[in-house]
Amino acid sequence: MPDKSYVQALQDLQDRLSSHSLEALAHMLTHRTTVSQATLNIQDEQMRAMVKHTLIAGQMVALLTLMKEMGVLDESHYDEFRAYLMHSLM
């Protein structure tokens, strides 16, 4: 198996988790769970910060998707915002 770069490994992980993440994010949004509440029991500060950052970016993408579906954002704006958020995770 060839070695993967950090970015490739992160992208692979992101792809594998995306469907589960979308379900979890939808659950968080519909039950009004904050990221702080969801990460309260993570003891490692660096891990908690990374998870918080990822969850917030994911929630923002979910909200952008809803805005696109409602016609508030067009495809190009959605793509631009989503790319920015995904870049912020790396």
User: At 40, is the secondary structure helix, strand, or coil?
Assistant: coil
Total number of domains in the chain: 1
With CA atoms as reference, report the closest residue to 37 among 55, 61, 62, 57. Answer: 55
Q: Which pTM does this prediction carry?
A: 0.66
Name the DSSP class of 73. S
35-62 per-position pLDDT tens digit: 999 899 999 999 889 888 888 888 888 8
Residue 37 has which token pair? 């509440």
**Which residues span the domain enclosing 70?**
55-90
Question: What pLDDT is attached to residue 38?
Answer: 87
Residue 8 included in any domain: no
Residue 76 included in any domain: yes
73-83 per-position pLDDT tens digit: 999 999 999 88
User: At 4, is the secondary structure helix, strand, or coil?
Assistant: coil
Residue 27 included in any domain: no
